[in-house]
Structure 1
Amino acid sequence: MTIRKPLAVAAALAAAASLSACSVLGANADDKASPSASGTPGGTVTLVTHDSFALSKGVLEDFTKQTGVTVKVVQPGDAGVLTNQLVLTKDAPIGDLAYGIDNTYATRGLDAGVFQPYTSTAAAASDAAKHQVDDSHRLTAIDLGDVCINVDHQWFAKHQLAEPATLDDLTKPEYKNLLVVPGAATSSPGLAFLLATIGAYGEDGWQAYWKKLVANGTKVDAGWSDAWSTDFSGGGGDGPRPIVLSYASSPPDTLPKGGGDARVGALLDTCFRQVEYAGVLTGAKNPLGAQKLLDFLLSDEVQADIPGQMYMYPVSTHVTLPAEWVRWAPLAGKPFDVPADEITAKRSEWLSQYSEIVG
């Protein structure tokens, strides 16, 4: 399945010592010096992003043709690794623009002074403003997605068992040993699911809920790939568990060739919404190039490319979604929510309590 495959958040500090990936897109990247803030846009702009970043072939080259700016991509890891890398290198930034820091980590980067203000005037800027997390416009929303429980329709039909629909259902005896989730301490969707339960049951109630999940045989894997591809029955690996934590955008990838219904469905009453942001880095060598690239991420060309390449929803309401997404991957009407500042203040405490419960 071509979908986000988050790496271990626990590797964040180790990743700060070195970058795991670096590529240059566009012509003559090494032949142009980055301009100063007072100069004109041009040269090379370095984009620091997560390891799930992908755009169709030719898209970034179009940006270079339009602006004369070449893009260099640095990918240190998933959203947690990315955030730690940006914070640890804030006094000597490793790039000009960061993309992929999400609402579970945004305030950490903001509090550390990683980003500088920039208000985009791009086509989708008004849509992005609906997801604003910072009044000084240091971060701009680019895309969003819902982390949700998914079920294997074929398995439940075969076993003549009604599918669960809510978080409460997952603790019922009939679903014992059927759920697998990636861990909150080791993956970004796992953390998002923990936040969904905190949003649903409150700061004093989520612990009891997780104890019920554990008692009901919930399996906790290190990452999304293990849960989806190995333990989940509908993810291609023919695993033993028909309930998995994934994304609302997962079902379209289980459509059979030649047509038919998606094998997997998302439970839209179990979701937490992730919003991904971009921001110009404080101390960027090419801040004008970074602004141009941020504007480009909000262009119709990039926004329309996001679903097929990164399995996230564009923030733009003007681009056309893939037809299979309209039918099989709707967003949740009322996803669970936890305020960003509360996440920042209590993330470590929550993860410590969570680890004690899941073992």
Structure 2
Amino acid sequence: MRTFVQRLCSLLLVPCWGGPVPSSYLLWPFSKWCYFQVNEYILLNLLEVIDAGGSMTIHCFGGFYGLAVSRVLYRPGLKKSHPKASSVYHSDIFAMIGTLFLWMYWPSFNSAISERGVNQTRAIINTYYTLASCTVTTCILSSLVDERGRINMVHLQNSTLAGAVAVGTAAEMMLTPYGSIIVGLILGTLSTLGYKFITPALEKYLHVQDTCGIHNLHAFPGFCGGIIGAITAAAASEATYGSRLHHTFPSLDKHPGRSLGGFQMAGAVVSLCMGLIGGTLVGIVLKIPIWGATTDEDCYEDKAYWEVPEEEVTLIHPVTRKEQTKEETTMYELEPQIPAH
């Protein structure tokens, strides 16, 4: 549960990263935890949905919650063209290391709360096949949408994981290997195209500033996960699952037949609505002037709130005409100069 909460809180901060003042970050996790508990209670206790990997309860809810906050706190001066909003080479390298760890351990995340045995093994296999398919699709499509045929690091860092997010709800269901591969192919395509076209459109037409592309990695794939889970649950039968049908779907007696898929779909819609409503309400509270505001120039910048070392500036030596640092130039000015004869 602690891991789930940590992931949930990070989903809220990512869409607005670099804009709000740090003091407002103290309110966000607390408020989001309250809404998360309400949403989780509705899905797991009232609707009795299955969501082993948290596609609906964590990714769909958390992603749309953060996007709603970002929409309310929209700032015209922080457009995608902001000089400090883009990444740099060494940041991309470190982020890629994080992606590799997530890629390796996401199967264990989707299977963590599944029943030990067949269900847990099935969740691991489904997630792995989805990740593999999603990665191949992302690499191919990223090169195709680039004018010079290059692979975009943002796509590799995010879209390669979108399939694992979407398969979370149906991870322990009988999705089959080819079904998992299809899910990865579809989500890899949608996520990559989302970073290329949907993210700019969200900012241009809906005024949603998605700093890190949370819509394409968590929000939309999480909702797709609810749809995938609904379709898979509606198709469940004893011929497919055998004696383990009721182990996989404990609420089958209350929701027999295709109605089970209907309740799964209802869970996805509830998560979407709860995220948008909760995020909008919290965004309105955060817009109150008592929290303060960061200037557009100080956004995406640590110097406004942290003590950071000065950037090293390269200068030209006035005599030797060689490159040197600012400190070396200062030392030269302090040294006694011997006049030339």
Indicate the TM-score class for this superposition, using the shorter chain for normalisation.
under 0.3
- Which structure: greater helix fraction? 2
Larger Rg: 2
TM-score, structure 2 as length reference: 0.24
